Chains A and B, each alone.
Chain A
Amino acid sequence: MEIFKNMMYILMTSAIVENVVLAKFLGICPFLGVSKKLDSAAGMSGAVIFVMLMATAVTWPIYKFILLPNGLDYLQTIVFILVIAALVQLVEFILKKYMKSLYQALGVYLPLITTNCAVLGVTILNFDNNYGFGESLINALGTGLGFMVAMILFAGVRGRMESCDFPESFKGVPSTLIAASIVSMSFMGFADVANGMFM
């Protein structure tokens, strides 16, 4: 029960309370870039969740069993980014070959993910927080879900913004950022929710 509680706590915290995009500022580029339409927002987040889980599952054993025992932990950044880049290629390849429908849904977003700092961020944060393997996977899942929540919510907001008339200098980027600020403010209301639920 204690373990389950801990897992739920990590999931809630990473998905909602400390939302990866709106509180931790990771993955802002895709958040602002691909959130114009609801279906592309959903596709991108699906691909992110998938790659985050895979990347965590691969990088955790590499770091714990290869890098740390040999005193190579300073190579963390290089190894992780290479693993993620290779993984993204591999996943794309496998999906293309064996899972056509999933590839059509996620395929176009996969190459973009290598440079998504949220993925690298999660794999590094797992070690900064001293998570075990299970906890790391839950954290990756929660972070991915948080990304999805933020993307889909914001896609809705931007859909509404299209018909708005902004002052000339606020058109485009600035108005989008200010909308993001308000969405982010609403997420601050979730602070302490996880503590109240599980502690």
Chain B
Amino acid sequence: MGKEKISLSTLTNGIIKENPVLVLILGTCPTLAVTTLAVNGVGMGLAATFVLVCSNIVISLLKNVIPDKVRIPCYIVIIAGFVTILSSLMEAFLPSLYASLGLFLQLIVVNCIILGRAEMFASKHGVLASALDGIGMGLGFTLALLIMGSIREILGAGTWFGIPLTVNLFSPISIFILAPGGFLVYGMVIAAVNKLTKGKAIKKKDFGCEGCAGGCNGCSGCEKGENK
């Protein structure tokens, strides 16, 4: 393990080529739910990044200690611990963001990205590589949420990070900050990414097991559940 190659691509992989939200289609629930405002998207992204980096580090440190058979419950406990720390900190220092993220802050626990990276990367690599991977994936998540949040806020509320932008141009199309707009913008953004990368990024054909690779394989239900 000691001579493991740590390259810049470990960091940048998550941001563009394997963007967890736009290419791997992981962590869809928070992506759709909190991106009504750009600032919420960034807050959620950074919160998840914090948990992701911390849990990646701890899991890669403990990878030789954790027995293989109970690894998933162990990962979940580690992740849940960091989520609890994070939500207490945020409640104390960023109460407005805490209120607007609400339930989805606690639901970082079951975010497939974090469990997926724990299973696919941190349990097989060294500490530094895992930390870099966590940062890269976290930034990729944040970037995707920022894009989604910006599109939805500008079109749906006419503001960007609270700054009025489109006052004289058009009246806000409020459907974009409601539920249907979330699905629509997400679909459009993925289509745009597909168009731009033209299959250079790892092509994900569809949802399902391939889509949530680590998260689902992690809970080992996928092979059984989907192979029919």
Contacts and interface: CB of A to CB of B under 8 A. Distances in A.
Given A77-B84, A82-B77, A115-B216, A169 B195 contact: yes
A141 interface: no
Nearest to B22: A173
A40 B73 contact: no
Contact of B178 (A169, A172, A188): A188
Contact of B191 (A25, A125, A170): A170
A74 interface: yes
A108 interface: yes
A117 B110 contact: yes
A180 B183 contact: yes
Interface of A: 22-29, 32-34, 36, 40, 74-78, 81-82, 85, 108-112, 114-117, 120-121, 124-125, 128, 167-170, 172-178, 180-182, 184-185, 187-188
A116 B212 CA distance: 12
B134 to A, nearest CB: 19
Interface string B202-228: 001111110110011011111011101
B67 to A, nearest CB: 16
Contacts, number: 162
B224 A169 contact: no
Interface of B: 25, 28-29, 32-33, 73, 76-77, 80-81, 83-84, 87-88, 102-103, 106-107, 109-112, 115, 175, 178-184, 186-188, 190-192, 194-195, 204-209, 211-212, 215-216, 218-222, 224-226, 228
B220 A125 contact: no
Contacts of A181: 180-184, 187
Return the 3 tightest CB-CB contacts between A and B, nearest first.
A111-B221, A177-B187, A181-B183
Contact of A173 (B33, B73, B207, B222): B207
A17 to B, nearest CB: 12
A117 B29 contact: yes
B110 to A, nearest CB: 5
Residue from B109, B112, B225 whose CB has the most chain A CB atoms within 10 Å:
B225
A36 B208 CA distance: 9
A125 B110 CA distance: 15
B212 A33 contact: yes
Contacts of B25: 173
A77 B87 contact: yes
Contacts of B103: 121, 124-125, 128
A78 B115 contact: no
20 contacts: A26-B33, A29-B212, A33-B207, A77-B87, A77-B106, A85-B73, A109-B221, A111-B220, A111-B225, A115-B216, A115-B219, A116-B110, A117-B110, A124-B103, A124-B106, A125-B103, A172-B206, A176-B187, A181-B180, A185-B175
Contacts of B191: 167, 169-170, 174
Contact of A29 (B80, B112, B220): B112
A115 B218 contact: yes
Contacts of B106: 76-77, 120, 124
Nearest to B184: A181
Contacts of B221: 108-112
A174 B212 contact: no
Nearest to B208: A33
B28 A108 contact: no
Contact of B84 (A36, A78, A174, A184): A78
B204 A172 contact: yes
Contact of B225 (A108, A121, A167, A178): A108
B192 A169 contact: yes
A112 B219 contact: yes
Contact of A33 (B76, B111, B211): B211
Contact of B110 (A120, A172, A185): A120
A199 to B, nearest CB: 22
Contact of B187 (A117, A125, A174, A187): A174
Residue from B106, B192, B212, B218 whose CB has the most chain A CB atoms within 10 Å:
B106
